[in-house]
Amino acid sequence: MSDFVDVGTGAKVRSKTARKYWGRLSSLSRTLLPDSLPGRFFMFMLLLVFASQLVISSVWNFQSWTTQEKALENVVSNMAVRVLSTIEYFDSLPDRYRHIILDQLRDMGGTRYFVTLNRDFIEIDELPGTRSQDIVINGFKDTLGAFQANGTFSNDAISIAFSAPETLRVFNNNTYLMELTESWGQHTLIVEPLSLPVLVIQVPVSDNEWLYLATLMPDSGIMSSSLPMDLQVIYLFGLTVLLMFGSWMIYVLTQPVEQLSKAAENFGRSFEPVYLPEEGAREFKTTASAFNRMQRNIQHFLNDRKQLFSGISHDLKTPLTRLRLRAEMLDDDDERQGFVEDIEHLDMMVRSALQMVRDTDIHENPESVDLEQMLENIARAGRSVGQKISVKCHEHEVVTGKPLALRRCFENLIDNAVIYGGSADISLSVEDGYNRIVIRDQGPGLPGGMEEEVFQPYRRFEHGEACNPGGNGLGLITARHLVGTHGGQLSLRNHPQGGLEVTLTIPCDI
């Protein structure tokens, strides 16, 4: 029973480990993935180019190497037949004629074979084995096997090996090829400036004599599957040009997306329409048309809202005045007081709504704003009338925004901190490209879970109504809207040490 538990536990551990490593891999891929759309397109283009080149190179190398192997096998077969004929010829000669024939061959020249008869077996400093060399050695062994079958020497007596010309020994184990004069064979096995491998075959033709035959291998083009250097340079140059052209095309194709992003960001801040040209690819034409239509609809809605509230303000003035006059004519003092309070409350709500519309509909040109200076000015004005306001600036950057809108936003939040919390402690810093303004008071804070509900229109709590009976519950909505038009955010939380903490983040590059 315990075995089953162990197996299950091991599977769970392996599954947990696999999820852990997969999570790390996913996190790493997200980290390496560029943020911009052109960067991602370029990265995927590189991956596709390298993957396609890998596949093509693999297929090309396989086909090329197969062709070269067949060509090398044919060359080796022909060379082995000639070597076999030479061995058979020398084996058939009487001993006294063999050296005479060698001298005649050496005087004739014009061959790439170096043949000697040696008394000792010569040790060869073999080159590191390669696939091409294995094909050559196996081809010679197969062809020379027919001569071995005659029983002239043992099957293991034949020696076939590759050597570099610089370390090749001839005649005996103390004489190197490089020490000989040209007439003795350097011109046969040395092709400057190349250093081609030399195939050395040693066959015993008698009890105390070895036939030593050395020959150059075929041209290095057959022995190697790599591209020549000049073709590699041309290939890399062409690939670089294609990548540059592809990068430029990616930039051109993604420009409309960047324009759409900037237009959406600007419209979201100021609600001033930024119309996009409806041209280019079909998908972008459709997107640009829909975006322009959305901007027009939103602009019409904002204009209609403004006109609606202006109309309400104008139309309610007369009936409210008549109601107030009629209330004053009531004989019952208590009933008259109730009517007047209701009318004043209704009038306050209308005025507050209209004030909110005016506050959030600020038409001014953006300009550079020094946030530290603005906060210091607001604090100085508040301290002059006895308010407890302090400003601590750790770091800040000048932003481009609407000064009046930002000032109304800060004044609203600072006044709330002073009225409902007794004081306002302000800190200004820069974090991750954002100016971070924190306003903390010393009040009771918000009831638990009400951080979002407090942004509802006319929503007020018991402590707020007690501290400021004339409030309307629209200040936080106005402040959040003004921060949003500058690309920022506003959030609330109860500080662990007491009081409410309001945090504003405004991007530095607006």
Residue 322's pLDDT is what? 74
For residue 110, pLDDT over 50 is answered with: no
For residue 374, pLDDT over 70 is answered with: yes
Q: For 311-347, how does the pLDDT look when each residue is reduced to its tens digit (9 = 90+)? A: 666 666 677 777 777 777 777 777 777 777 777 767 7
The answer to whether the peptide bond before residue 193 is cis (omega within 30 degrees of 0) is yes
Q: Between 40 and 270, name the one with better pLDDT.
A: 40
DSSP 8-state code for residue 281:
S
Q: Between 142 and 108, name the one with better pLDDT.
A: 142
CB atoms within 10 A of CB 207: 5
Residue 466's pLDDT is what? 66
Highest mean pLDDT: which of 123-127, 268-272, 435-439, 451-455?
435-439
Residue 1's pLDDT is what? 42
For residue 220, pLDDT over 50 is answered with: no
Q: Which of 28-32, 115-119, 148-152 has the lowest mean pLDDT?
A: 148-152
Mean pLDDT, residues 102-106 taken together: 65
Rounded CA-CA distance 303/297 in Å is: 10
Rounded CA-CA distance 235/239 in Å is: 6
For residue 237, pLDDT over 90 is answered with: no
Residue 154's pLDDT is what? 47
- H/E stretch holding 392 reads strand 389-393
Q: Between 9 and 454, name the one with better pLDDT.
A: 454
Q: For 75-102, how does the pLDDT look when each residue is reduced to its tens digit (9 = 90+)? A: 888 878 877 777 777 777 777 777 777 7
Q: Between 241 and 145, name the one with better pLDDT.
A: 241
Q: Between 429 and 309, name the one with better pLDDT.
A: 429
Q: Which of 55-59, 182-186, 320-324 has the lowest mean pLDDT?
A: 182-186
State whether the Cα torsion 213-214-219-225 is positive or negative.
Answer: positive
The model's confidence at residue 192, banded by pLDDT at 50, 70 and 90, is: low
Mean pLDDT, residues 271-299 taken together: 80
388 φ, ψ to 5°? -90, 100
* Farthest-apart Cα atoms in the chain, separation: 159
Residue 114's pLDDT is what? 80
CB atoms within 10 A of CB 111: 11
Rounded CA-CA distance 281/85 in Å is: 74
Mean pLDDT, residues 477-491 taken together: 83
- Paired strand residues for 492: 502
The model's confidence at residue 438, banded by pLDDT at 50, 70 and 90, is: very high
Ordered structural domains, the chain, with CATH: 78-223 (3.30.450), 229-361 (1.10.287.130), 366-507 (3.30.565.10)
CB distance 406 to 269 below 8 Å: no
The mean pLDDT value of the chain amounts to: 76
Mean pLDDT, residues 483-504 taken together: 86
- Kindly report the pTM of this predicted structure: 0.43
CB distance 438 to 495 below 8 Å: no
Residue 351's pLDDT is what? 66
Q: Between 412 and 352, name the one with better pLDDT.
A: 412
Residue 119 makes CB contacts below 8 A (sequence gap 6+) with 172, 208, 209, 210
Residue 224 makes CB contacts below 8 A (sequence gap 6+) with 132
Rounded CA-CA distance 42/247 in Å is: 6
Rounded CA-CA distance 263/274 in Å is: 6
Q: Which residue type, as a one-letter code, is found at position 300?
A: H
